Structures are given as C-alpha cells and as structure tokens.
Amino acid sequence: MTLPLDVVVQTREHDHPGGVADRAVQAEDHGFAYVSMGEATGWNVASLLSVVAERTDTVGIANDVFSPWGRSPALLAQTALTLHDLSGGRYRLGLGPSSPAITEDWHGFPFERPLRRTRETIDVIRQVFTGERLEYNGEFFQFDGGLSYDRPVPDDPPGIDLATLGPKAVEMTGRFADGWVPQLFTADGLRDRLTDLERGAELGGRDPSEIRVSPLVRCFASDDPARARESTRAMVAFLVGAYGPFYGKNVAEQGFEEAVDDIRAAWADRDTAAMAAACPDELLDAVAAYGTPADVRETVRSFLDVEGVDAVRAGFVSGMDESDKRKTMAALADI
C-alpha cells in the first residue's frame, strides 16, 4: 500500500548519481508515494530523475523545485514530458518563484515580478502539453504559433506542483497548479494558508480537493532524541535565517517574529551556533518532526490530520548519517 508520504533526497550528500537512485529504491521498497529532490547549484536534477526513473518501477518522482529563470518554459515542458515518458507517467513537475540569490547570483537574471513570471511559465508549459503550436502573448514570454512539441503528447500530462508561501502566491497555486508543496509551516499556519489555496481554486473554477497538498517537514528519528533535536534545530535555524528572505518572513508571520529577528541577526555575523541557539523549542516543535521514531510519527500525523493535506513530504536533516536516514524512513513507513 502506498503511504501518504513522500521523501526528499539530499543530492549533495551523495558522491555519485547512483547513490540518489539507491535512496529512491529504498523509498519505493518502503512504500513512499513520491521521491523528490531539490536543485540549486549542484547536479542537474533532470538528469538525476532520469536515472531514478530507470531504477524504479512504482514510486512517483518529482523535483523541489525548478526555477522559472533557470530553464525556458518550453524546455521545462520538454523536460517534464521526457521524464513522464521515462517513468511511465510517474513524474510531477515542481516549480517555484525561486529566490533572489539563485536567480541573480547563479542564473544571472534580475529577480523581478516572480509571481507573474511563474504564472506565465505555467501557462506556456500547459500549452506545450496540448501539442498545439505555441502561441502566447505575455509580459515575459511571446510566441507567434510557429512551433509545437515534436513528439506525441500524453492524455495525462505531468501534474505541476508549486512551492509557494505567501497569501497571493498560494492563491495563484490554487488557481493554476495541480499541487502545493509548502515548507516551514506550523499545522495552524497550514490551516490558515489553505484558505488562500481554496480561494484561488474557486477563482479558477477548480475543485480544491483535486490539488495535492504535501507540506515538506524535516524529519529525524533517532535512539538519541537530544542529538536529533539539536541537529534539527540547527537546520531549521539555517533555513529561516540564510535561505533568502521568504522563509523567515513566513515563519515570523506565524507568530515567531522575535525568533526570526534573532536568527537573522546571528546570520548577519555568519554565526551558525548563535543561529541555532536563537531557535526556540516552540518553533522547532511546530515545524519539524524529531526525536524517537514514535515522536516523529506523532508529529507527522499531526500534519496529515490537517484537513486538506494529502501527504507529508519528509525531508532529512543535515548531519544525519546513513543509519539515521534508514531509521527515519523505517519509522515513517510504520505510520
């Protein structure tokens, strides 16, 4: 039976793409619904997913997330359709507005109107998925109907998931996407934001129950709960303080403004120990699952119990060794 769980592979912790595929096989053996992986400045995740598609049979594959500046909309559509064919229809395309650092310092584009660019990217991808000639007149993209996808298109093209945080971005997700993959939300924060998703679905004439909601929750099951707690604390603090402006803003708006200010002040000095010290237990307990296997299962269930949530996307914590990851996956497989 497929679990209401996905698992995120940390690609930077593998020395060879084959290791990523090995982790995906483990996820499949445990019954996880999807295996996903992020892309920043490391390996090209489209290539990794090709290897994963060949090495697995039943587990879904996805990415967290492609930047709308890193690839053209047409190339994103080609990539998605290729992975769809390679995997026998198991692929979901993950997109997100990205961040100023990745957009400007890696891809070399100004970070301007990210929601509009994301919306137009989705529009163009969906048009490519139809197999018709590409004709579009947007603010970022214009096509005159000269070309179309040069392969047969499937009747069931890949779903498009968005990783968004703020009210307007989540409303856009509800209007135009097939899935929502939020991160660093409390259970109550998810409930509040799901109203934005539902409003967007209503504006788009869509059924919100057909949008797959899979919040990403960092998980660390261990026989040493104190170690799991402190490792998780360090990672949550780093995500809040160092991963661009949006995660911290979102966490602050969920009632942790003082903690976010303290974490960011420590990051300004690049003091990672002080960042972790500034991350209170209340924040950690609200957004992450750590401790004994039973503790982790209980926290993950609290997210699955949120009405509108379809699955939890379990992410590992930096500093976990191979034994930690296997224990965590096994713990979640018993949920």
For residue 142, the surrounding DSSP H or E stretch is: strand 142-144
Taking residues 251-272, what's their average pLDDT?
97
Q: Tens of pLDDT along 81-138?
A: 999 999 999 999 999 999 999 999 999 999 999 999 999 999 999 999 999 999 999 9
Listed residue (41, 35, 110, 127) closest to 76, CA to CA: 127
Residue 144's pLDDT is what? 96
For 69, phi then psi, to 5°, come to: -100, -20
Query: Structure pTM?
Result: 0.96
Please identify which residue in the block is written with the tokens 């939020």: 182
Q: How far is CA 46 from CA 42, 55, 86, 129, in A?
A: 12, 14, 11, 18
Ranges of H-type helices in the chain: 17-30, 45-55, 73-87, 100-105, 114-130, 167-176, 187-203, 225-242, 244-251, 257-268, 272-277, 281-287, 293-304, 322-333
* CA 67/CA 163 separation, integer angstroms: 10
Listed residue (84, 239, 106) closest to 157, CA to CA: 84
CA 10, 15, 21, 22: dihedral to nearest 10 degrees? -100
pLDDT band at 243 (very low <50, low <70, confident <90, very high): confident
Q: Encoding tokens for residue 158?
A: 């890949």
Residue 287's pLDDT is what? 98
pLDDT band at 1 (very low <50, low <70, confident <90, very high): low
Residue 49, classed as helix, strand or coil, is helix
Average pLDDT over the chain reads 97
* CA 36/CA 292 separation, integer angstroms: 24
Q: Encoding tokens for residue 137?
A: 């007149």
Taking residues 255-282, what's their average pLDDT?
98
Q: Tens of pLDDT along 156-204?
A: 999 999 999 999 999 999 999 999 999 999 999 999 999 999 999 999 9
**Are the CB atoms for 90 and 33 separated by under 8 Å?**
no
- Domains of the chain by range and CATH? 5-220+287-333 (3.20.20.30)
Percentage of the residues of the chain whose pLDDT score is greater than 70: 100
**Are the CB atoms for 87 and 58 separated by under 8 Å?**
no
Q: What angle do CA 152, 73, 34 make, to 5 degrees?
A: 75
- Cis bond upstream, residue 65 (ω within 30): yes
Q: Tens of pLDDT along 31-46?
A: 999 999 999 999 999 9
